[in-house]
Every structure is written in C-alpha cells, then in structure tokens.
Amino acid sequence: MIFTRLQALLLIALCAATTVHAAPAADQAQVEKVRSALTQPAMGLEVESVEPSAVPGLFTVQFANGPVVYATAEGRYFIVGDLHEVQADGFVNLTEQRRDGDRLAMLDAVEAKDMIIFSPEGETRAHVTVFTDVTCFYCQKLHLEVPELNSMGIEVRYLAYPRAGLDSDGYRKLATAWCADDPQDVLTRLKAKKSVPEKVCADNPVAAQFELGQRAGVRGTPAIVTASGKLIPGYQPAEQLAATLGVN
C-alpha cells in the first residue's frame, strides 16, 4: 500500500495530539475581539464567555442559551461541533466534559425543596437527578425501580420535564405532583396511571425546570444526570444504572 503524504501528515497530527497541552492564558484584548465579532444582536446571538481552547489558535465561545462553538483568533471563522482529544487510551470529548461541568453547576443551584426526592433508608452511596414526565412509558418503568435503586443506596432526585411542552396535559399532571401536600405519593400515583384531582398552583417550578432541562441538553425523558454532571439520555435498568454509578 502506498503511504501518501496526506496519510503521513495525519499520522503526525494524531501522534502530536496524544500530548496533553493546557490551554494558554486568555489575552483580554483578543477575547474582546472574538466576542465583538460573534455577538449578533439582530440574530439574537449573545456571547456569554470566550476562552482559549485546547487547540492553539482556537477560542471556545459559549453563546448565552446557545451552543458552544470554536472560533479563530480574529473571530472570522467558527466551527460548530464537539472538540475531541486523542489520548493514549482513546478519544476524549472535551466539549462534553465542559457540558458536564455546566450541567452540574446548574443542578447545584436547584434547591432540594423544588425536587421530589426518593432517598434510601440507610446510607446514600450515590445520587442521580432525573428529568421526568408522568406520561412517558420509560419514566414509569424507571419509577417502578426506584425502590430497588434506594435499596442499593442510590437517591433519586426528580425534576419536571413535560416533553409535550408547557401547554400540555403532562405539564398539568407534573404541576399537580409538585403542588401536592405529598408530592412523592402523587407522583407515584400519576406514573401508575391513577386518577388524581388536578391542582396547578401558581408558584410551581415545572416551567423553570423544563427550561433548565433544555439548557442542560435534555431532549427526551427520562434524562438521568449523575453526580458528576454526565447526562444519560434514556432509561437504564436499575442494575445497569448502579454499575454506571460504580455502586455494586
């Protein structure tokens, strides 16, 4: 097989990528130049932060309520997509690592009183935060396994995510659970498809949690977030979820 010049260059690039380089310190003038170039008020684009990426010459740009992109130093070009690093033991998604940190910070700001929490009777060895909808089959299936998760020391913290939107039956049912005197019981009954009188209080947090889920990258339910901010999109059986969390 002929080893082309392009293949040789690619091999050199991959080998070089296995060396971990810390991102250089940001030059404020350069940061402001990138920010100015990519801020487009007419298009509703506002830059939230700019910082050097792990790739020399590229800046990590976070749009407010939008995606992360990677821009050139003058802000003339940018790339939409995930940035991966080639390491000795495989590929690492640096963009997803950033999302994990952002998700964790967002969830840390949610007060426990605004969640519906099912805690183990004994020691809590791990916890997950689950964006849920009572009308979702796999949310119902996961909820049936909450006692098993609790028995393994895993706490389940629920946040509301009405997948059909805020003007839906799912929203009203979730609000009914969050407004109940006994939220755990009402949520369990609703997920068992039992009839519960509707009670939508004015100060319920469902809309705020739905918006939080969208910012956190939730696209469907259940969406499980680990204590490190990692997003597990979809249902996992209790035993598999425990293994994912390192709880044996």
Which sequence positions are flagged as catalytic? 133, 136, 139, 163
Task: Tell me the three state secondary structure of residue 68.
Answer: strand
For CA atoms 70, 73, 75, 76, the dihedral sign is negative
**Cβ proximity of 206 and 194 under 8 Å:** no
Q: What DSSP string runs through 106-134?
A: HHHTS-GGGSEEE--SS---EEEEEEE-T
* Contacts by residues 11-19 (CB-CB < 8 Å, ≥ 24 positions apart): 14/86, 17/85, 17/86, 18/86, 18/87, 18/88
CB-count exposure of residue 143 (10 Å: 0-12, 13-18, 19+) = buried
**Cβ proximity of 70 and 40 under 8 Å:** no
